[in-house]
Amino acid sequence: MNLLDIRKKITSEEFDYLTLTDIFKNYSNPKMKISVMLKKHYIIRVKKGLYIFNEKYRNHPYSKELLANLIYGPSIVSAEYMLSYYGIIPEKVLDITCSTIKRNKDFITPIGTFSYMQVPQDYYNIGITIIKNEYVSFLAATKERALADKIKNDTMNILNNYDDVENYLFNDLRVDEDMFFGMDAKVLESLAVYGKSRKINMCMKFLKRVQK
């Protein structure tokens, strides 16, 4: 079986070990066939059991966001990465930041760093959405959740009053004011309660005050 045949069978750019072993099930040593594909750089191992095609052999771009869901789950793409994705902050963020109910963990891979931050189960369930693009769907934080995750896990900020919140959001993070003031304060309120976060609560109160 040549690479063209394999590409016809694997239509996605992100695939796992079971997909490959199923393709090579009629061979005496499927594991060896996979090793050859790796040595010839036909495919790239993102982590054990998870792969993408090398650039020369891709039909379309792979999804770092979907891979983030697959590398360590359950998880959603969140915090700085999603703030950048939505255009809430101006910086382009390359490393993927995620929220999970599992323990904190970082994965350094050939395609970038994936960082996972642990949150309580009840908090985790708030502010999750499915984002679809031309090729895949992935689990991500809503705008409110992405901001809350960033605030919750940013140990360098102290938000004791509205001036602190305003300085942190618009000077430190350079959050787009119109996008922030258009957020749902009730979602932030729920995140503050279940995340037991005084900082998120202060941010929510600042938003409510402006929205009145």
Per-residue pLDDT tens for 18-38?
A: 999 999 998 889 999 999 999
Under 8 Å CB-to-CB from 103, ≥6 apart: which residues? 118
Q: Which residue type does 84 have?
A: S
* Count of Cβ atoms closer than 10 Å to residue 11 Cβ: 10
Comparing 45-54, 83-92, 122-131, 155-164, the range with the smallest average pLDDT is 155-164
Average pLDDT of the residues in 170-179: 97
Phi/psi for 97 (5° steps) reads: -110, 130
* Cα–Cα distance, 120 to 125 (Å, whole number): 9
Query: Which residues of the chain form beta strands (DSSP E)?
Result: 14-16, 43-47, 50-53, 75-77, 96-100, 105-109, 112-118, 128-132, 137-141
Per-residue pLDDT tens for 118-129?
A: 999 999 999 999
102: helix, strand or coil:
coil
- Inter-CA distances, 38 with 41, 43, 45, 54, Å: 5, 5, 7, 10
Confidence check: pLDDT of 156 > 90: no
* Cα–Cα distance, 186 to 200 (Å, whole number): 12
